[in-house]
Amino acid sequence: MSGRPEILFPLFAGVETLQGVGPKTAQNFAQIDLETPRDLLFSLPYSLVDRRRRASILGAELPATLTVEVTIGRHRPARNRGGAYRIHVEDAETEFQLVFFHGRSRYLEAQLPEGSRRVVSGKVELFDGVANMVHPDHMLPLAEADSIPSFEPVYRLTYGVTQKTMFKAAQSALERVPELAEWIDPAQALKHNWPGWHHAIAAAHEPQGADDLAPEAAARARLAYDELFAHQLTLALARQTERKTRGIQSAATGRLQSRVLQALPYRPTGAQARAIEEISADMAAEKRMNRLLQGDVGAGKTLVAFMALLVAVEAGGQGVMMAPTGILAQQHMEGLAPLAEDAGVVIEILTGRDKGAERKAKLAALKRGDIHILVGTHAVFQQDVEFRDLRLAVVDEQHRFGVRQRKELAEKGKGADVLVMTATPIPRSLALAQYGDMDVSVLDEKPPGRKPVKTAIISTERMQEVVDHLRRAIAEGRQCYWVCPLVDESELSDLTASEERFKHLRAILGDGVVGLVHGQMPPSEKDAAMAAFVEGRTKVLVATTVIEVGVNVPNASIMVIERAEIFGLAQLHQLRGRVGRGSAESTCLLMYQPPLTEGGRKRLEVLRETEDGFRISETDLQMRGAGDMIGTAQSGLPRFQIADLERQAGLMAVAQSDARALLAADPRLESARGKAARVLLWLMKQDQAIRLISVG
């Protein structure tokens, strides 16, 4: 498995080996990452030009692209430089003109001699009542006219590359397409009526009508599936390798868990019970757990995570819970401490703030095993932090916490199980694309006792009413978040938006009532402002979106979001989840700047109608697309050339179960279908996956 299979060599040659591609064009292609025939094959046409031949241009609705057979008539060269060179032509029923600017007589007389028959194809428009075809795209003798496709594919172009060059290069690449053995499960291909790869790639470049361009078209669906399947195969291989590293078996006794369950004022939801069971089973197995706990705002992830930590303690080990910031670690600590007390286990917190003797004492206790559960920030990665027997690491909010940190943490406890918690309900297709190497537990029920948050949509023109409403609420002892948008990427405007609003509210509500938190503050100031709000010293917290993750202030019952129309739905849903945590009735005011677009209004209405994060995220995905939804830059989402995650979400799940099934049956990809799948991995440039097989 050392190198690329020979059958693929022609597809991985330089792009300049294709017909009509010289060094200059090759450079231009490189601008859009087209470096080999393979790259060209995977950049499919996005539309087409109907070049079916007609008898006459008569009766066509102009302007239109038309293809007709004509007799060439008189040439009328331009009278002055830069003027138009006109050639009179006749089709079966009428006459029109071919027009050339900067037309050279010698060239045009040779190409289009008077009296000859030609097939011309191009855009026909009316000028002063006369039909003109300006610079035809094709002008060919009848014998060669068949080379004009009935439907000409239209490609995305780059500077200096014409459609003609692109078409020629793609056709030339198609001539090199080898017959490859089938890697798709035969039953799967049959069920969807998918063609073989060779046929699919040819058909995708030779559409016979608009329907062939749709993602649902059989050839395109198959190629999209290939892409998703290769991606899921890569993730499944990574998962297989990860699982080979032996985990530690941690068997629950239920001794500590039962104490907590007895002390709880309510019973866990079905979803919580199911998640706890899945996690316990994983921890008891000898493979290492790598599980994602996905739960909507307020779905009770904390309890599930704590139960998992207790499994580690019951089995005689320790657990650690990681948060991205000191404030969140502190909040986890506050949330978990009463539960730890019920269970009778020792819980401690370690952040960057711990210094000197106090830190030393904590580290010693940790090493002796006197601390059962540690809550912390990435300070727990430091060299001098040693556990006596780390069994489980719970990581909060995947996005701010990469794969590398997951690994470092697991290395603190050789083979410790990993549980990642995310409060972002992402649609299943994206969860699979992003976390395909993990097993997923979903909390999709709300525990009893969470009150719904009343959501209203208000124009910024009613700012005064909103501020009055706030003043009354503060008088009643309530607290409020006021979120300002990041106006654009430049940090200055983010600053000014939140600072202006802060000054405005402070002027109306009085000094000491309003706090401010934004991304450009030094962490210590940010922490101080947050703490003042958490402790209730300030009543209104003006903030950019730094508060969306995890902050818990039960007394805050109003959330105002300015310019809500420019936020993503998932983000608005997260922000709204910051209120409605206490006993008071809570409201969320979505303020928009009129006029709202149709799409903008629709998105805000979804929030008004539902608090179901999964429904909201599905809508977000349909309306904005995958990249925007998670923010492409940090989304960690793979870029697919053909597959469309929004419209082909279902294929992703199929690809995942197929990939896992193939590897379960053939872990080293040595069967006939396994070997075909290796070729697919090479074809899709999944080099890391290939390395995993050769190592594995």
What does the pLDDT look like over 102-123, one tens digit per residue? Answer: 878 889 989 999 999 999 999 9
Q: Does the pLDDT at position 401 exceed 70?
A: no
DSSP 485: P
pLDDT category, 411, cuts 50, 70, 90?
Answer: low
Percent of the chain with pLDDT over 90: 44
Query: What is the arithmetic mean of pLDDT over 315-332?
Result: 87
For domain 52-148, the CATH superfamily is Nucleic acid-binding proteins (2.40.50.140)
Question: Which one has a higher pLDDT value, 81 or 130?
Answer: 130
- CA–CA dist 641, 628 (Å, integer): 17
CATH code linked to domain 453-610: 3.40.50.300
pLDDT category, 634, cuts 50, 70, 90?
Answer: very low
347: closest CA among 355, 338, 359, 356?
338
pLDDT category, 635, cuts 50, 70, 90?
Answer: very low
Q: How many helices (H) and strands (E) does the chain have?
A: 25, 22
- Delimit the CATH 2.40.50.140 region(s) of the chain: 52-148
pLDDT score at 292: 87
Contact indicator for 250, 312 with CB cutoff of 8 Å: yes
pLDDT digits (tens, 9 = 90+) for 600-623: 888 898 888 888 777 777 777 666
Prediction pTM value: 0.65
CA quadruple 26, 27, 28, 33: dihedral sign? positive
pLDDT score at 350: 92
N- to C-terminal Cα distance for the chain?
11
pLDDT category, 637, cuts 50, 70, 90?
Answer: low
pLDDT digits (tens, 9 = 90+) for 200-235: 999 999 998 888 988 889 999 999 999 999 989 988
Question: Which one has a higher pLDDT value, 245 or 101?
Answer: 101
pLDDT score at 256: 92
CB burial readout 564-595, b (16+ within 10 A) else e:
bbebbbbbbbbbbbbbbbbebebbbbbbbeee
pLDDT score at 529: 87
Query: What is the arithmetic mean of pLDDT over 421-429?
Result: 72
Mean pLDDT for the chain overall: 85
pLDDT score at 215: 86
pLDDT score at 323: 85
Q: Does the pLDDT at position 242 exceed 80?
A: no
Q: Does the pLDDT at position 36 exceed 50?
A: yes
* The CATH number, out of the four listed (3.90.1150.10, 3.40.50.300, 3.40.50.980, 3.50.50.60), of the domain defined by the range 255-443: 3.40.50.300
Question: Which one has a higher pLDDT value, 383 or 88?
Answer: 88
